[in-house]
Chains A and B, each alone.
Chain A
Amino acid sequence: MPVSPKQARTLKHRSWVAFLVLPPIVFMSLFVVYPILSAFAYAFYEWRGLARGEFVGLANFREVLFGATMAPVVWNAFSHNVQTLIALMIIQNGGGFLLAWLLYKEPFGFRFHRVAVFVPVVLSTIIVGFLWKLFLNPNFGLVNQALLAVGLDFLARPWLGDSATALGALILANAWHFIGFPTLVYLAGMQRIPSDIIEAARLDGTSEWQLLKTIIWPLVAPSTTILFTLLFIGAFNWFEIPYVMAGLDGSPYGNTDVLGLVFYRTAFGNQSASIQNFGQGSALATLIFLFIVVFASMLTLWLRRREIQF
């Protein structure tokens, strides 16, 4: 059948589009989609050591969620992730909101502070973890030395070695590291609010607190959506700070254990026990992934409903 010039042009156009789109699709499939799908698939196989074993159905999932060995560790770690989420929501995002408000009011030296608050965010997590490990050192650490210097030595303790304070210390180190991010996002959100609206609220008689609660907070809802969602994902993927500061076992005695560490130990091996269970590790990773996707989507949808347009 003869091809009309118009058809020929369309064909040429389509080939051109295919030529442009195909390489990235192949690349993504090979290096992103395939590994994810295979990790998902591994969750259904017995796999210890080097080669994949036999198909075991949901056994790995059962062991991770309800098994006598894995489940207590997993649920203990999960509870720490939840505690971290709640604490960081308040300290990191809440603190970021208040810092943003202080910067928004442009106090003396606000330009310096606006940069200063973001500097830790740029640092590598490994460096921040190491830095805080030094600060919190029971003998020569800055924190205990400072307490000693001001006569509060009864408060000094081995922060990272005490089960009561270890997780809290990691959370605070993380908040110190990342608080600049919510601060800047909230600051940008606040600067988006037309100044007339804030002036109108002042004329209407708002106190500082009422202004924050009834005007600013609802109007920075888009910032809240993104920050809360990112923090939710971050809290359940938490790994670096606990790994650097508390080690792979979540010491002391699993008091800082989080899902990321459990996954790493299970899949890639525990130095002390040299166990490698790729099947169970994949099952745990799949569960973490599904949990994050489902709850992060719900959270986003719920938060989006609060957003308004100017």
Chain B
Amino acid sequence: MATVSIRDIRKSFGPVSIIKGVDVDIADGEFVILVGPSGCGKSTLLRMIAGLEDVTSGEIRIGDRLINDVPPKDRDIAMVFQSYALYPHMTVAENMGFSLRLKGTSKAEQATRVGAAAASLGLTPLLDRYPRQLSGGQRQRVAMGRAIVRDPQVFLFDEPLSNLDAKLRVAMRAEIKELHHRLKTTTVYVTHDQIEAMTMADKIVVMHDGIVEQIGAPLDLYDSPANRFVAGFIGSPAMNFVEGTMTEEGLSLPSGTILPLHQRPPAAVGSALTYGIRPEHLQLAPVGTPGAIPAVVTVVEPSGLDTTLIVKAEGGPMTVVLRERVSLRPGDAIALRPVANQSHLFDAAGLRIASL
């Protein structure tokens, strides 16, 4: 096990800059998730840690060792690929023991270590099968087994659950988390799925367009997003945003509603701000309530656990999640009152300037 430290990492493919100066510190035994939309550079960053991509500039260290120019096999890492990348001509046991075989480990030792890893992942009955004879979930487990057998200092996961169906994904999520809890190996995990990031990570690194937008614990990111991008990316359904103008009385929204502000944000009267509020922080209020946003219901989605309303308000769609069951129909006029202390204000540059 080891720490991983990434210092001012940059990566360009010719004139195209993919990663534009990233700093991340990963503590020993930490489970860190790199998350962001497609093309944000998260996979490239992971591949640079693995040694599969050259570093254009900056430093990557595992423990105290600078590994920029160390070949992948000497970095003491193991990687699980999105496609699993199992060797199709080798059995499960051969796949898992391949790295040991290359190192010249004795047959007995290989069998012991492969056996132990297989047992911990429930793969023992499958050891003689070929990858093509396995289901997606089983292949995924073999890929993890192959990583575990190496007993590396760092595990790298590149969108490992993307090829699985929704139900299996939830199950494997728990399995990977449990595995990390047991092995306590430093892990860097890449995903574009913010639910995966929220549920699994000790620490999330939100990336966008080659830079880090915010690093923090999942709930810190959820409750205190640094900027509009993180606020919109983390959380599902996504946060609602409404453009407004700062006035003496509060924030003036397009419908003329004035949202009272409990504290004075650092913004001049007349400046344009973005108001952000999560769907679960809007409550139903009697129509006409002062400080409530008038809205018209367009879609009602009851899930049993909660009810999601899609409404038209302030010139655009907004999402509301209610815990209670409601008897609303499309076309009904309602009013939405924001829960106190749960909304955010972002300035013109997208930075969060206050939470209200």
Q: Is the beta-carbon distance between A200 and B130 smaller than 8 angstroms?
A: no
Q: Does B237 make an interface contact (CB < 8 A)?
A: no
Interface string of A191-218 (1 = CB under 8 A from B): 0001011011111111000100011001
B87 within 8 A of A: yes
Cβ A199 vs Cβ B88 within 8 A: no
Interface string of B75-87 (1 = CB under 8 A from A): 0011101111111
Complex Cα distance, B258 from A70, in Å, reads 110
Q: Which residues of the other chain, B, contact A196 by a CB distance below 8 angstroms?
A: 81-85
A215, B88: Cα distance in complex, Å: 9
* Interface size of A as a range: 20 to 34
A197 to B89, CA, bound (A): 11
CB distance from A282 to the nearest CB of B (A): 45
Q: Do B73 and A205 touch across chains, with their CB atoms under 8 A apart?
A: yes
Interface residues of B in 38-90 (CB under 8 A from A): 50-52, 71-73, 77-79, 81-89
A194 to B146, alpha carbons, bound, how many Å? 18
A308 touches B88 (CB 8 A): yes
Please report whether the interface of chain A is mostly helix, strand, loop or mixed according to DSSP.
Answer: helix
Question: Is B325 part of the binding interface, using a Cβ–Cβ cutoff of 8 Å?
Answer: no
> With A196-B83, A199-B81 in contact, do A204 and B99 touch (Cβ < 8 Å)?
yes
Tell whether, in the assembled complex, residue B89 and residue A308 are in contact, meaning their CB atoms are under 8 Å apart: yes
Whether A218 touches B89, Cβ cut-off 8 Å, given contacts A194-B83, A200-B79, A205-B102, is yes
* Residue A284 lies at the interface, judged by CB distance under 8 Å to chain B: no
Whole-angstrom distance between the alpha carbons of A196 and B89 in the complex? 15
Min CB gap A193→B, angstroms: 9
From residue A280, how far is it (CB to closest CB) to chain B in Å?
48
Bound form: Cα–Cα A218–B89 in Å: 7
Whether B73 lies near A308 (C-beta < 8 A) is: no
- Is A309 among interface residues, defined by CB-CB distance under 8 A? yes
**Chain A residues closer than 8 Å to B98, beta-carbon distance:** 201, 204, 214
The answer to the question of B323 belonging to the interface, with a C-beta cut-off of 8 Å to chain A, is no
Query: Would you call B181 an interface residue if the criterion is a C-beta within 8 Å of the partner chain's C-beta atoms?
Result: no
A203 to B75, CA, bound (A): 9
In the complex, whether B264 has a CB less than 8 A from a CB of chain A is: no
Residues A309 and B132 in contact in the complex (CB < 8 Å), given A199-B52, A200-B79, A205-B102: yes
Contacts A309-B88, A309-B132; A204 near B102 (Cβ below 8 A): yes
How many residues on chain B are close to A (CB under 8 Å)? Answer: 26
In the docked arrangement, what's the CA distance between A30 and B139, Å?
A: 55
Collect the chain B residues with CB atoms within 8 Å of residue A210's CB: 102
User: A203 and B88: CB pair below 8 A?
Assistant: no
Complex-state Cα separation, A197 to B78, whole angstroms: 13
Contacts of A200 on B, CB cut-off 8 Å? 79, 81, 85-87, 146
Give chain B residues whose Cβ lies under 8 Å from the Cβ of A16: none
Query: What is the CA–CA distance of A5 and B6 in the complex, to the nearest angstrom?
Result: 79
B103 close to chain A: CB less than 8 A:
yes
- Asked whether, in the complex, the Cβ of A203 is within 8 Å of the Cβ of B87, the reply is no
| Distance to closest chain B CB from A283 (angstroms) | 44
Is A205 a contact partner of B103 (Cβ separation < 8 A)? yes
B89 touches A203 (CB 8 A): no
Interface centre among A203, A210, A215, A310 (most CB of B within 10 A): A203
Q: Quote the shortest CB–CB distance from B50 to chain A (angstroms).
A: 7
CA gap between A168 and B83 in the complex, in Å: 47
Q: Which of A86-120 contact B (CB under 8 A)?
A: none
CB-based nearest B residue for A200:
B85
User: With a CB–CB cut-off of 8 A, which chain A residues contact B72?
Assistant: 199, 202-203
Tell yes or no: A160 within 8 A of B by CB. no
Alpha-carbon gap, A200 to B78, bound state (A) = 9
In the complex the two chains form, what is the Cα distance from A289 to B82 in whole Å?
50
Chain B neighbourhood of A259, CB < 8 A? none
B102 x A219 contact (CB < 8 A): no
Residues of A within 8 Å of B50, CB to CB, are 199, 203
**Interface readout for B95-111 with A: 1 if CB under 8 Å, 0 if not?**
00011001100000000
Q: How far is the CB of A291 from chain B (nearest CB, A)?
A: 31
Q: Tell me, in angstroms, the Cα distance from A201 to B103 when the chains sit together.
A: 13
CB-based contact B87/A199 at 8 Å: no
Alpha-carbon distance between A210 and B98 when the two chains are bound, in angstroms = 11
Picked from A194, A203, A308, the residue with its CB within 8 Å of the CB of B79 is A203
CA distance A214 to B95 in the complex (A): 11
Q: Could you tell me the distance in whole angstroms from the C-beta of A145 to the nearest C-beta in chain B?
A: 45
The residues in A between 252 and 310 inclusive whose CB is less than 8 angstroms from any CB of B are: 308-310
Nearest Cβ in chain A — how far from B241, in angstroms? 38
Residues of chain A with a CB closer than 8 A to B130's CB: 308
Q: Decide if B87 touches A197 in the complex (CB within 8 Å).
A: yes
Identify the closest chain A residue to B75 (Cβ).
A203
Residues in B lying within 8 Å of A, measured CB to CB:
50-52, 71-73, 77-79, 81-89, 98-99, 102-103, 130, 132, 146, 150
Interface residues of A (CB under 8 A from B): 194, 196-197, 199-206, 210, 214-215, 218-219, 221, 308-310
Task: In the A-B complex, list the 3 residue pairs whose CB atoms are closest, starting with the nearest.
Answer: A196-B85, A205-B73, A200-B85
14 new A-B contacts at CB < 8 Å, known A203-B51, A308-B88: A194-B85, A197-B86, A197-B88, A199-B79, A200-B85, A201-B98, A204-B73, A204-B99, A204-B146, A210-B102, A215-B87, A219-B88, A309-B132, A310-B88
